């Protein structure tokens, strides 16, 4: 049995939409019947990681109340260390969309991801995702109405495997690497339920999960 724990949803991102997108991706895995998928709250992350799941999926930004004057964040210094230790010891993390947004750049978590969200243009844009850099048409591309994430990425120390281009320019959309005894993936699509259920996004998310779970 493969154990996956997932932290989904925040002020800007609907939990149930992400749940539908994640389950669509997992349904594409050839060993889907062997996947034990559990949804957790941010208060349960530490306890969940103590159980040594095979994969922790984070699709939640750090700010719990981004529009309030006093903003509260969920990733404490202690939990930040717990999360890094979990990966160093063989656990793996998939930071999906909002899971790389709003965190302190100096945190162990962001240093472990080797990249983070900077901004996205207002609203949904016509975005083209590229399997090969600079190949902006053909079978290695697909269109999506999405928030185009512009990111910082330490490209020298990770493997970029997805790019994006849109009205506001070009960015990176996916990367992966080993960290300690574990693995880390970052994947920026998608913002809407329709986008997450898109067959291209769903297939790519399944590939990320499969890469992480491969021994």
Q: How far apart are CA 155 and CA 8, in angstroms?
A: 26
Q: How far is CA 43 from CA 39, 49, 73, 76, in A?
A: 12, 12, 12, 11
User: What pLDDT, on a 0 to 100 scale, did the predictor assign at position 134?
Assistant: 80
Residue 142 CB neighbour total at 10 angstroms: 17
The one-digit pLDDT tens for each residue of the chain (215 residues) are 999 999 999 999 999 999 999 999 999 999 999 999 999 999 999 999 999 999 999 999 999 999 999 999 999 999 999 999 999 999 999 999 999 999 999 999 999 999 999 999 999 999 999 998 988 888 899 999 999 999 999 999 999 999 999 999 999 999 999 999 999 999 999 999 999 999 999 999 999 999 999 97
User: What pLDDT, on a 0 to 100 scale, did the predictor assign at position 136?
Assistant: 82
Contact 21, 193 (CB under 8 A): yes
Distance of CA 198 to the CA centre of its chain: 16
DSSP one-letter code for 69: S
User: What pLDDT, on a 0 to 100 scale, did the predictor assign at position 41?
Assistant: 98
Radius of gyration (C-alpha) of the chain in whole angstroms: 16
User: What pLDDT, on a 0 to 100 scale, did the predictor assign at position 135?
Assistant: 81
Contact 158, 192 (CB under 8 A): no
User: What pLDDT, on a 0 to 100 scale, did the predictor assign at position 198?
Assistant: 98
CATH class of the domain at 2-114+172-213: alpha beta
């Amino acid at each position: 049995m493969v154990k996956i724990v997932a932290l989904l949803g925040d002020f800007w991102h609907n939990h149930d939409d992400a749940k539908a997108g994640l389950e669509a991706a997992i349904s594409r895995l050839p060993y889907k019947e062997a996947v034990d998928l559990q949804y957790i709250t941010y208060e349960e992350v530490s306890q969940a990681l103590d159980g040594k799941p095979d994969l922790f999926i984070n699709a939640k930004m750090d700010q719990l109340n981004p529009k309030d004057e006093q903003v509260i964040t969920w990733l404490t210094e202690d939990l930040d260390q717990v999360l890094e230790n979990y990966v160093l010891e063989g656990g793996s993390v998939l930071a999906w969309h909002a899971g790389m947004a709003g965190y302190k750049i100096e945190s162990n978590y962001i240093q472990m991801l080797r990249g983070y969200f900077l901004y996205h243009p207002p609203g949904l844009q016509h975005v083209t995702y590229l399997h090969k850099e600079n190949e902006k048409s053909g079978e290695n591309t697909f269109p999506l109405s999405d928030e185009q994430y512009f990111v910082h990425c330490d490209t020298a120390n990770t493997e970029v495997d997805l790019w994006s281009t849109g009205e506001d320019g070009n960015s990176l959309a996916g990367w992966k690497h080993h960290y300690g005894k574990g693995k880390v993936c970052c994947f920026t699509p998608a913002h809407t339920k329709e986008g997450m259920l898109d067959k291209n996004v769903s297939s790519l998310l399944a590939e990320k999960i499969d890469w992480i779970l491969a021994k």
